[in-house]
Amino acid sequence: MPKNFVSNKDETVRMFKSDFLEALSKVHPAVPIVIYAPIILFMFYLSIFTYHVQALSILGLVVFGIFIWTFTEYMLHRFIFHWELKSKLGAKIHFIFHGVHHDYPSDSKRLVMPPSVSIPLAAIFYFLFKALLGDISVFPFFAGFLIGYLVYDTTHYAIHHFNMHSKFWLMIKNHHMKHHYQDSHKGFGVSSPVWDKIIGTDFPPKSSNKLEV
């Protein structure tokens, strides 16, 4: 298992002896869109044509869902992806879940969440939100939540493989690059640095020099 190593090439490393498990750990960046875009459209269909939810209510719930995703993204990255038990097994589990990305940050096959992880997580979140919001409001809310997730996944891929030109996207990219190459204990927001600023895990002003890779 690689340690204290960072590759800036689009290359990968084998994580599992099993070919089946190894295949599950890799995913084309378009796969999340193929899976979740139809679900988002179906939830909008249910909201509009089956339950006749008012347009303003749909808009408000969608925006709320996106907002909750940004917080979820931050919490998952900080407390789940970077959680590491102080043992050989804990280190191995951490490497499989997220450490491999820090060692091979440009690996295009491991930049978006594989369906083997995202689908069970999505199901858990859906039933949690359904219990909290009810059988109808959950549809536009969860559509917004999934939109936020797709923005996160596509943004993460773009950060590592696209050249950013606008000030906004350069800011997003530099924020995440600092997480990789400056301090992995800060900068947990990927699609947005908002929660890092609110909670206090943003990079200090003196580190505001651009760091592009």
The model's pLDDT over 140-180, given as tens digits with 9 standing for 90+, comes to 999 999 999 999 999 999 999 988 889 999 999 999 999 99
114-143 in b/e burial notation, b at 16+ Cβ within 10 A?
bbeebeeebeebbeebbeebeebbbbbbbb
Tell me what the pLDDT averaged over the chain comes to.
Answer: 90
Could you report the per-residue pLDDT of 10-21, keeping only the tens digit for each? 787 888 888 888
**R_g (Cα) of the chain, nearest Å:** 18
Section 31-50 average pLDDT: 98
Sketch the domain layout of the chain as residue ranges. Answer: 31-166
Instruction: Enter the tokens of residue 130.
Output: 């359904």
Supply φ then ψ for residue 143, to 5 degrees: -60, -45
Q: Cβ distance 37 to 150 under 8 Å?
A: yes
User: Within a 10 A sphere around the Cβ of 61, how many other Cβ atoms?
Assistant: 23
